[in-house]
């Protein structure tokens, strides 16, 4: 309840505390102080002053989704930011010599320059614009839904860890005695497939139909095995980790949802990094 106290009655007419030069016979229903038209805010019964409205807003719990994500009005800023970064990076790939080779992941360079596990997810094939168009379209299909359902923090963690998992998938299936060890793999496919895996689990948790996504995932997995120069290993790595992390977020107990989300994120990150370290230790 507001800590404001009604002003003592005086001989003169009541005036607004914020605007002492304005006489007001209308009082705030919450604190009882006079409130001028500029400071009035409509309430379910009568009006309230701006101070009481602000105090009530600070004390109100943020609106949350079923899975504990904070509801944000407006555009899916995280998804839009990721798409913007990929587009900017793609332009730099076309305009700056060596940009792709500087940030792309290849197993031979990952141990010395581990940042490549993540940065490669913001690169796409410079020779085919359809590569980035498909990935960004897929991201736009599932990204805003997951961003709202899980909340921005868990959504960012899911995307980034799935991206790294895609690179780790490429690493695990590569051998230092083959050419694959020295071939770069680029694209946001690992991260996107991570979102695909997570959305399947989330939709099931919410009791909604996920059949269309199953068809899309199945087709893309088949395409990855059939068409050459597609890193199906990244698809598999991202899909498995994304589904697991999405399940942890979706099915965590409500009273411990925040703690469970943190633990699941740390465990997934440690697992992905650990697999990469084990692979490099064995070569």
Catalytic residue among 24, 131, 162, 235: 235
19 classed as catalytic: no
123 contacts 92 by C-beta, under 8 angstroms? no
235 classed as catalytic: yes
What is the rounded distance in angstroms from the CA atom of residue 55 to the CA atom of residue 59? Answer: 6
Q: What are phi and psi of 181, to 5 degrees?
A: -65, -25
Catalytic residue among 2, 167, 189, 252: 189
According to the 3-state scheme, what is the secondary structure of 225-241?
HHCCCCCHHHHHHHHHH
Domain ranges of the chain: 1-60, 77-281
pTM: 0.77
What is the rounded distance in angstroms from the CA atom of residue 199 to the CA atom of residue 203? Answer: 6
How do the pLDDT tens digits run along the chain, 283 residues long? 445 555 454 557 888 888 988 888 888 888 889 989 888 888 877 888 988 888 877 765 557 777 777 777 678 999 999 999 999 999 999 999 999 999 999 999 999 999 999 999 999 999 889 899 989 998 998 999 999 999 999 999 999 999 999 999 999 999 999 999 999 999 999 999 999 999 999 998 988 877 777 777 777 767 666 666 778 899 999 999 999 999 999 999 888 889 999 999 999 999 999 999 999 998 8
CATH classification of 77-281, choosing from 3.40.50.300, 3.40.720.10, 1.20.1540.10, 3.30.470.20? 1.20.1540.10
């Amino acid at each position: 309840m507001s800590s404001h106290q009604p002003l003592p009655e005086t001989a003169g007419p009541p005036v607004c505390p914020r605007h002492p030069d304005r006489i007001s016979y209308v009082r705030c229903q919450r604190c009882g102080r006079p409130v001028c038209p500029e400071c009035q805010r409509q309430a379910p019964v009568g009006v309230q002053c701006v101070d009481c409205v602000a105090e009530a807003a600070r004390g109100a719990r943020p609106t949350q989704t079923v899975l504990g994500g904070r509801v944000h009005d407006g555009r899916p800023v995280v998804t839009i930011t990721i798409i913007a970064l990929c587009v900017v990076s793609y332009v730099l790939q076309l305009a700056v010599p060596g940009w792709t080779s500087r940030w792309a992941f290849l197993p031979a360079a990952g141990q010395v320059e581990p940042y490549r596990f993540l940065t490669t997810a913001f690169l796409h094939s410079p020779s085919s614009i359809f590569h980035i168009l498909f990935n960004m379209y897929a991201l736009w299909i599932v990204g805003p839904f997951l961003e709202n359902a899980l909340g921005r923090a868990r959504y960012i963690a899911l995307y980034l860890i799935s991206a790294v998992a895609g690179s780790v998938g490429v690493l695990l299936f590569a051998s230092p005695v083959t050419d694959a060890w020295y071939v770069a793999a680029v694209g946001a496919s690992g991260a996107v497939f991570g979102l695909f895996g997570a959305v399947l689990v989330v939709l099931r948790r919410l009791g909604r139909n996920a059949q269309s996504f199953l068809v899309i995932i199945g087709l893309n997995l088949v395409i990855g095995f059939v068409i050459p120069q597609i890193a199906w290993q990244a698809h598999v790595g991202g899909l498995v980790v994304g589904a697991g992390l999405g399940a942890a977020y979706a099915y965590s107990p409500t009273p411990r949802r925040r703690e469970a989300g943190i633990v699941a994120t740390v465990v997934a990150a440690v697992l992905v990094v650990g697999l990469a370290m084990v692979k490099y230790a064995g070569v």
